[in-house]
Homo-oligomer: A and B are copies of this chain.
């Protein structure tokens, strides 16, 4: 089918259509391989009287990243990191222009833009909150403007969270975040332990991944194992062979279980003595307009994607199986954010996953457990390969990376949430969508 698009795009009519729709050639994205340097060039660290430039400069240097404070004409930079926490009113936003304007063309392909701010709710007054909220317009616009695989993010750091930003900065600077752009991440107050080895941050941790037999779930199992975790791969009995293959690859354990069975939480608990990381990746679609949808399509999607997740969380938490410092990670979807035609059931379940993250985060904070979710956009899987050609190409191209993401991109984001260094990252829903144009 890719050939059909290529043939169309290179035909006389097709070339005109592709050009008119503004579909550029997709850049090759920098993706992480263990041992890679964190950035493909020096970091230009800027900011005016903020509370983060100091700690960030120190951690970057300790991580062996070259940091510069000014850029020569023609410099080739790996990342632009700007500490905006010193901006206390809208007039102060001019500092952003002064910083970005002269260096906007200096980033290498797959370079990074990171703006650090104060969560508006934690600002001292409305003027400061307004200016801090305004940063979102800048970082999202830069993400759409810079191209060439460059990503742009806004990272809000709560006052008192200055010493716990390393895990997030490493993720966002590295090739791990290749397909994450235009996002707003919030880091809370408090400290986070640094892993002994940043290339194996999950060493000694036990992770359970549901829906692990194929696609995104299999990629999650592989990335968590690569990052040091002992992985338990779970899927339905019907996917037993594929599941065994994944478990074998990651030298982990396979568990066959139908999560919607009434006794599933109890049976699952029986397989576990303690768990550090729980990734609720299992999910299904049963698309129909609500007028044509039979009740089993509604019930099954809601139960697999949302209710079973709630039942399992609650039982494992109640029995103390999720350890202190544990990580609960859900998989939402752009459909859960924006809604989608033919997906009332799926979008409702995925919006529920967002609600689960937001409502459980404060409840779990007392136990040192975090809860977050990824919201994938167009990810290249067997499922998307079956979409009609034009829909598929639109999904692939309508984002700042001009291409679909890979299952590994979702997995890398989950591994960042799972890291011990992300102890103060909770309640976040981060899209892995290449900054898709679609949203709400």
Enumerate chain A interface residues (CB-CB to B < 8 A).
13, 17, 20-21, 89-91, 93-94, 96-97, 100-101, 104-105, 120, 123, 125-127, 129-145, 182, 289-291, 293, 295, 298-299, 302, 306-307, 310, 335-352, 354-356, 358-360, 363, 390, 394, 437-440
Contacts and interface: CB of A to CB of B under 8 A. Distances in A.
A134 B440 contact: no
A290 B438 contact: no
Nearest to A140: B339
A356 B126 contact: yes
A295 B97 CA distance: 8
Minimum-distance CB pairs A-B, first 4: A140-B339, A133-B355, A439-B439, A137-B351
B348 A138 contact: yes
B347 A138 contact: yes
A374 to B, nearest CB: 16
A141 B291 contact: no
Contacts of A135: 348, 351
A175 B372 CA distance: 40
Given A127-B310, A132-B355, A144-B341, 4 more contacts: A120-B359, A134-B355, A141-B344, A439-B440
Residue of A143, A145, A182, A352 with most partner-chain B CB within 10 A: A352
A145 B344 contact: yes
Contacts of A182: 338-339, 440
Contacts of A130: 306, 310, 352, 355-356, 359
Main secondary structure of the interface of A (DSSP, over half): helix
A137 B344 contact: yes
A121 to B, nearest CB: 8
Contacts of A306: 90, 130, 134
Contacts of A140: 338-339, 347, 351, 440
15 contacts: A13-B13, A90-B352, A93-B348, A101-B291, A120-B358, A130-B352, A137-B339, A139-B339, A141-B341, A141-B343, A142-B339, A144-B339, A145-B342, A438-B438, A440-B440
B137 A336 contact: yes
Nearest to A123: B359
A124 to B, nearest CB: 11
Contacts of A307: 89-91
Contacts of A345: 97
Contacts of A137: 335-336, 339, 344, 346-352
Given A141-B339, A349-B134, A355 B129 contact: yes
Contacts of A126: 356, 359-360, 363
Contact of A359 (B104, B133, B343, B437): B133
Contact of A21 (B13, B132, B390, B438): B390
Contacts of A138: 339, 344, 347-348, 351
B127 A289 contact: no
A345 B130 CA distance: 15
A307 to B, nearest CB: 5
Given A290-B104, A351-B133, A355-B131, A335 B390 contact: no
Residue of A90, A129, A298, A299 with most partner-chain B CB within 10 A: A90
A262 to B, nearest CB: 12
Nearest to A104: B291
A290 B100 contact: yes
A125 to B, nearest CB: 8
Contacts of A343: 141
Nearest to A128: B359
A141 to B, nearest CB: 4
Contacts of A359: 120, 123, 125-126, 129-130, 133
A348 B90 CA distance: 10
A252 to B, nearest CB: 30
Given A133-B355, A339-B143, A437-B438, A94 B344 contact: no
A432 to B, nearest CB: 14
